[in-house]
């Protein structure tokens, strides 16, 4: 059974979004890290970059596969988790905590209504 955390937003490509005021913290779900297996590379997102909802922002690679990380919302990237860029296996160990990927200044909170809550996401990945 994969872990899903209450209070976060989710999208179909298996990213989670935590909203704190205007800031969104983005990571991948437990399901995604388990599917990928041992993660060995994480591309460093560019601070200051403007992204649109759904954009492939960075790539992530495990031994098995390469995948894109899609931003769940539009906005500006304001911080990158460099510790995870250095040690990507942290994502496997703690995908909802220390394994967060980057922070974004959310442009339009209306976009949140397109995302799933924990219950819908659990259902989707059941």
Letters for 16-35 (x = contact with other proteins by CB under 8 A, - = none) are: --------------------
d(C-alpha 44, C-alpha 42), whole Å: 6
- Sheet containing strand 15-20, edge to edge, reads 9-10, 15-20, 23-28, 102-106, 75-80, 50-51
Q: Which one, 17 or 101, has the nearer CB to other proteins?
A: 101
- Least Å from the CB of residue 90 to other proteins: 13
- Least Å from the CB of residue 111 to other proteins: 26
63 contributes a contact to other proteins by CB under 8 A: yes
Burial class (CB in 10 A: 0-12, 13-18, 19+), 109: exposed
Choose, by CB under 8 A, the member of 2, 18, 61, 122 that binds other proteins.
61
Which range in 15-23, 24-32, 58-66, 104-112 contacts other proteins by CB under 8 A?
Answer: 58-66
- Least Å from the CB of residue 85 to other proteins: 11
46 contributes a contact to other proteins by CB under 8 A: no
- Name the site residues for other proteins (rule: CB under 8 A): 37-38, 40-41, 43, 59, 61, 63-64, 66, 89, 92
């Amino acid at each position: 059974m994969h872990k899903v955390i209450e209070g976060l937003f989710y999208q179909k490509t298996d990213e989670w979004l935590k909203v704190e005021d205007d800031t969104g913290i983005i990571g991948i779900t437990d399901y995604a890290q388990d599917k990928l297996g041992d993660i060995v590379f994480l591309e460093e997102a560019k601070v200051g970059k403007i992204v649109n909802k759904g954009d492939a922002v960075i790539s992530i690679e495990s031994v098995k596969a390469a995948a894109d990380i899609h931003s769940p919302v539009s906005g500006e990237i304001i911080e990158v988790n460099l510790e995870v860029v250095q040690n990507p296996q942290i994502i496997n160990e703690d995908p909802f905590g220390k394994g967060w990927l980057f922070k974004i200044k959310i442009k339009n909170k209306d976009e949140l209504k397109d995302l799933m809550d924990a219950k819908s996401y659990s259902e989707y990945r059941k």
